[in-house]
Structure 1
């Protein structure tokens, strides 16, 4: 219907349809209506911007920039075209030109959160964290409860080595959005680094609630209990982890070590489970290796020779089956190793990293030589 209308009405209607199709990710339809809008009114900046958007979505950034430039030539106050051309320059890694676009846009839209973020992001890409922090601080004044901006500020301060400021912004981000795994992990690691493992527990427990299938968070909780000296709670936590993840070897290693240190009889049970688990793992790895070796032999052997015409086909098939069975066995050139007598590997790697060493007390230095060896005795001290 609208194709029969006036050219400006037609262009406006086609522009709206193009935009709607673009939002629905139907870029072919969006491009078709954008072409119709531009052909109906070449001076319509919105139509040119929409056409640039469809070209941008197809990855042709240079051509998209041309449409945005034409839209700005027709209407220098078209903020959408100015914003999009800034994004296009970012994609083309022309950061100075992108920054110029967003600074111009900032002069028009003083409190636009999107513009402030883009300026901060460009400074970060230009490896100027000081300017990036400054613009993010302006952004925080506009959107003070944006958890992602707060965590971004924390990350920048952390990269600069300012842990106290980083902690402040990460903690603020956590207050507004307590489900960000990255923020939770950073806060937990911060308390571990500062030797406050008791405070780190609540963050790792929250992470385990958000990702209950990730065993590492629960192992970190148990390690925090162990480091803080609460061995019984650590033992209970490891047992609970073992019930949920019975095939986790790391948990079993911790249980073996902890039961050994405490002197519990359960150490034999967990050591046997660890040994059995390692044996199963070894068998699986051996099967995988033998399967790979067998496939390589099949590829290199080619077609096997069949018996002489006097032999029966049954003997031929039997010999082929026998060769296949032999190929499925582990390599005969490798010595057979029995894992029955091997002790289980109870070594473990603490998920929280190595524990900080305590300062050593000064020990009294022994004197190997006589303190008076260099002094001469006077005549009055000599025996008469």
Structure 2
């Protein structure tokens, strides 16, 4: 207190004495605030050391080093304890003139670092938190690599360890120290892995835990994820509800997120058939951030409503969507600069260029599909509608699509069987650029081939090839015209050229296999069809061709194996079933042969060969009554052939029912009075049964035989010229195994572009 009063007096006196000097008293200060020489202040040092319980120094210097008045600590001869604590190991004086040495190397080696206590609770919590983060990362990596099950296991383990971590934190610290970000991350990852594994109920429960916790400030946004799950579950009303709740909680600054949610709401409305509400959602999207998917969905909704004007407006909005793709000009070198050429070559097919191609292809597909959809309904006729679409496309950035729409118009004429209009439309492209001309000529060649005008088909096939030699469809059609003329070797050359230009041209590969079959180059044909099978795994024609080739190679086991694969694709094809029956019959497996012949008959009960085999099978197994059923159907199909009538009568006779057999032979005789076989059996039956009609039938038999001899003599005057006598007799039992099976192989595929 004394020091403070003295200071106030000094300041006051200095002000009065030097009131005329503006800077007088500037350098005056109270010695109480002099801290530069405290280490030399004996009273201060004694007070400090005494306050820490140390012995006072042996001798004390009570005067200031600068001769200033002593501090208030010993002003009255009594040492007063000081409240300030001297900084340990630091004095300003000692630092003067010395180098900065934070490690104390100038005074000797630094003390060893203190070892971390691994058993402390804080360290255990830190290690456990690190382990939880690692598990979450491992879960995400497993998900990205496609191992969804492992990703879910890691997410569950992370959840268990995170709960242990929370309990340990609560024991040693306050609840406020819990890491909420880590808890949110673990729960969100767990819900995502549940959804990826299609465990939707568990995913929804986990998302609810996050959404209902008010401590997670952005948890409400996850209602979008919940809406997506409800959409997958086809619970569209709940999906719309959660999408709208998410929309309310996402601020307007997040424009892209809100637009995507609006699109999802529109899709959900489409699923529920609420097209008017869907149109509102998509129109809002197109006004705020136009994109291809929203524009295409808007066209679909307007089409579903049936409003032609809205369809036109929606189509124009779709056309106006910016493609954001650079033109191909930047990939063309303007000069012969090698550095520029090298750069262009590097970016010509990089990932960005591929993405541009995909985006452009998607846009063209959307526009073409939308035009084909609305063209027949927006005007009085589909032709006028196509013309309107063509004009809109020509005025947009998709000018090259106008020609494709014109070709599609011709294809529509073709579907309506209006060949003349189709031909007229395609002929207008003869003066267009080479690509369009080639496509139109390919279709014209196809049309003329359908009309069996091979000359015209060949001419347009030549025009298509000359316009674009790298068009695989044109080369395939050219090969087909040559195939039809019988020059299989030359046709194969065109198919090979088509495959060199486009290795995925399945039509050319199939027709090449057919050409090799015609040339009897069986191994090469088999190689073609096996390659095609690797591309088209479940194509019935390809499987049939492979089985047929193995049959030609006399490998019935392989043929049966491929036919079994074919049956899995077309289980009701009667020709394939009968072919399997024939192969098993040739192998001697009558039970399997009967099974497949019967299945063939069940699906197509009009195949005479199958009926004949089944009837003969029942006769061989002594079930003549069952055979009658099949021969009656054959007689119904071919009523003018006596063979089936005689087989029915023969079955009656073999089963011991002679009266029915006699009656049947009499019916046959009335229908076919000159049949020698029928009269012979009538004579035999009447003789065995002792009937009076026997003489009458014998007389008729002799007359018919004599008439037959006279006809043969008239037709063949010299006996040696007569052919071997086969008579009109039919054996009692038809020999089994007469089925043609699968029939002839399919003809060459004809390709046309649309």
TM-score scaled by length of structure 2: 0.39
Q: CA deviation at 1:22?
A: 1.6
CA distance in 1, matches of 2:716, 2:563: 54
Give the structure 2 partner of residue 154 of structure 1: 581
CA distance in 2, matches of 1:168, 1:286: 49
CA distance in 1, matches of 2:510, 2:634: 38
CA distance in 2, matches of 1:74, 1:117: 27
Aligned counterparts, 1:181-200, within 5 A:
181-200=608-627
The structure-2 alpha-carbon separation of the partners of 1:32 and 1:350, relative to structure 1 and needing over 3 Å to count, comes to: closer
Give the structure 2 partner of residue 46 of structure 1: 473
Q: CA deviation at 1:8?
A: 0.5
Give the structure 2 partner of residue 142 of structure 1: 569
RMSD: 1.6
Aligned counterparts, 1:49-128, within 5 A:
49-128=476-555
Instruction: Choose from 276, 282, 287 the match for 2:709.
Output: 282
Q: CA deviation at 1:21?
A: 1.4
Give the structure 2 partner of residue 225 of structure 1: 652
Q: CA deviation at 1:353?
A: 7.1
Q: CA deviation at 1:62?
A: 0.8
The structure-2 alpha-carbon separation of the partners of 1:352 and 1:88, relative to structure 1 and needing over 3 Å to count, comes to: same
The structure-2 alpha-carbon separation of the partners of 1:106 and 1:229, relative to structure 1 and needing over 3 Å to count, comes to: same
The structure-2 alpha-carbon separation of the partners of 1:209 and 1:130, relative to structure 1 and needing over 3 Å to count, comes to: same
CA distance in 1, matches of 2:502, 2:430: 25
Give the structure 2 partner of residue 352 of structure 1: 733
Q: CA deviation at 1:282?
A: 2.5
Contact 1:249 1:277 in 2 (8 A): yes
Instruction: Choose from 197, 204, 211 the match for 2:638.
Output: 211
CA distance in 2, matches of 1:173, 1:28: 41
CA distance in 2, matches of 1:26, 1:122: 31
Contact 1:223 1:350 in 2 (8 A): no
Q: Does 1:166 align with 2:593?
A: yes
Q: CA deviation at 1:283?
A: 2.5
CA distance in 1, matches of 2:601, 2:450: 32
Contact 2:612 2:734 in 1 (8 A): no
CA distance in 2, matches of 1:163, 1:87: 33
Residues 121-154 of structure 1: per-residue CA shift (max 9 Å, x gap):
0111111000000000000000000000000000
Aligned counterparts, 1:333-344, within 5 A:
none
Q: Does 1:6 align with 2:387?
A: no
CA distance in 2, matches of 1:289, 1:186: 36
The structure-2 alpha-carbon separation of the partners of 1:272 and 1:128, relative to structure 1 and needing over 3 Å to count, comes to: same
Contact 1:216 1:351 in 2 (8 A): no
Contact 1:11 1:37 in 2 (8 A): yes
Residues 322-369 of structure 1: per-residue CA shift (max 9 Å, x gap):
xxxxxxxxxxxxxxxxxxxxxxxxxx7742279xxxxxxxxxxxxxxx
Residues 83-129 of structure 1: per-residue CA shift (max 9 Å, x gap):
00011111111111111111111111111000000010011111100
CA distance in 2, matches of 1:287, 1:136: 52
Q: CA deviation at 1:286?
A: 3.3
3-state SS in 2 of match to 1:12: helix
Higher RCO (C-alpha 8 Å, min separation 6): 1
CA distance in 1, matches of 2:607, 2:590: 19
Instruction: Choose from 267, 270, 274 the match for 2:697.
Output: 270
Give the structure 1 partner of residue 602 of structure 2: 175
Give the structure 1 partner of residue 12 of structure 2: none
3-state SS in 2 of match to 1:19: helix
Q: CA deviation at 1:196?
A: 1.0
Q: CA deviation at 1:280?
A: 1.7
The structure-2 alpha-carbon separation of the partners of 1:45 and 1:287, relative to structure 1 and needing over 3 Å to count, comes to: closer
TM-score scaled by length of structure 1: 0.76
Give the structure 1 partner of residue 628 of structure 2: 201
Q: CA deviation at 1:20?
A: 1.5
| Structure 1 residue ranges (4+ consecutive) displaced by more than 3 angstroms after TM superposition | 286-290
Q: Does 1:244 align with 2:671?
A: yes
CA distance in 1, matches of 2:559, 2:681: 44
**Higher alpha-carbon Rg:** 2
Contact 2:616 2:734 in 1 (8 A): no
CA distance in 2, matches of 1:44, 1:289: 62
Give the structure 2 partner of residue 260 of structure 1: 687
Give the structure 1 partner of residue 726 of structure 2: none
Q: CA deviation at 1:289?
A: 4.5
Give the structure 2 partner of residue 359 of structure 1: none
Contact 2:482 2:490 in 1 (8 A): yes
Give the structure 1 partner of residue 454 of structure 2: 27
CA distance in 1, matches of 2:734, 2:556: 29
CA distance in 1, matches of 2:479, 2:705: 59
The structure-2 alpha-carbon separation of the partners of 1:107 and 1:256, relative to structure 1 and needing over 3 Å to count, comes to: same
Q: CA deviation at 1:167?
A: 0.3
CA distance in 2, matches of 1:126, 1:245: 45
**Structure 1: runs of 5+ lacking an equivalent:** 297-347, 355-384
